[in-house]
Amino acid sequence: MTFRNRSGILFSMNKLSREKRIQIIGLLVEGNSLRAASRLSDTAFNTVTKLFVDAGKACAEYQNKTLRNLTCKRVQVDEIWSFVYAKDLNAPIEKKLKGEAGDVWTWVAIDADTKLVPSWYIGDRSGNAAWEFLTDLRGRLSNRIQLTSDGHRAYLIGVAGSFGDKVDFAQLVKIYGREPGGERRYSPPACIGAVPHAVYGDPDPKHISTSFAERNNLTMRMSIRRFTRLTNAFSKKVENHALSVALHYMHYNFCRIHKTLKVTPAMAAGVTDKAWSVADLADMVDEAQPKPGKRGPYKKSKISK
């Protein structure tokens, strides 16, 4: 469909074809930035951005409704650092106070058996953020679980406030040593040991681990362009940062076959009975969009003389 603006210039308002939407979403979930997806698909940047926003919202809403009454047994949690607009030290004070810039932490829970990610939360690294995150996780479970985290003290507040005594909770406290040549930039200190601590309930010592959660952090770094270090692909808005995480986990949970399980995490958890394709994902996004209503009959206005 073609329209003419006030200047008399013709412009097109055609909707993206299904094939083009599948291509763009496929590029985004494989770790490409918005501009890279725009170049590779030969699509306007603003059009790609709108599709990304629509896809992120649809994925967040779908998973919020679907990932309920889960029968997870062993859940590991961790948080991963990133930043929005600018790093904390360089962010304008006004934007930092509004929560629009600076350090951002993504809290993630992963089922150790099915590798499903049932819950995530984006915020700071405080005890209140831990409570919000774990409260959401608790609301998605149908049974008692064994929960393992690292030694971050905020988890003690979060678990106590969300699960109470209805959880077998343990922390794996890591011990770090000094680098022989001093600390290297962008490299964490060497881990020289880890001490398990049972906090609540009766956690099984054999399953006090955060290995799957830490491996999931690497998956996020590799699959979400906004999490890549030392680039200018970082998020400029917190909202878009959250949408990118929702889109990633929709693809991770429902589309990506886990090499060990031979099925997707959602299939292993009994949430769905099939492996979704990117085409299914694109169709779900399209179905989530509001449909235009029918226009009523044109009525000529009466002008009094």
Question: What's residue 180's pLDDT?
Answer: 57
Write down the mean pLDDT value for the chain.
89
The C-alpha atoms of residue 272 and residue 274 are separated, in whole angstroms, by 6
pTM of the model: 0.87
Q: According to the model, what pLDDT value does residue 185 have?
A: 58
- Candidates 33, 25, 49, 24; CA nearest to 227 is 33
Question: Stretch 154-165: mean pLDDT, rounded?
Answer: 95
pLDDT at 304 exceeding the cut of 60: no
Q: 168 by DSSP, 3-state: which? A: strand
Task: Report the alpha-carbon distance of residue 117 to residue 246 in Å, rounded.
Answer: 11
> What would the mean pLDDT of 235-240 be, rounded to a whole number?
94
Segment among 141-145, 200-204, 230-234 with least mean pLDDT: 230-234
Q: pLDDT at residue 275 above 90?
A: yes
Please state, in angstroms and rounded to a whole number, the distance separating the CA atoms of residues 229 and 185: 12
Q: How confident is the model over 189-202, as a mean pLDDT?
A: 84
Contact 60, 90 (CB under 8 A): no
Tell me the average pLDDT across 161-168.
Answer: 94
The token pair that represents 176 in the structure block: 């770090």
Residue 270 has pLDDT above 90, yes or no: yes
Q: Which CATH superfamily is domain 11-288 in?
A: Ribonuclease H-like superfamily/Ribonuclease H (3.30.420.10)
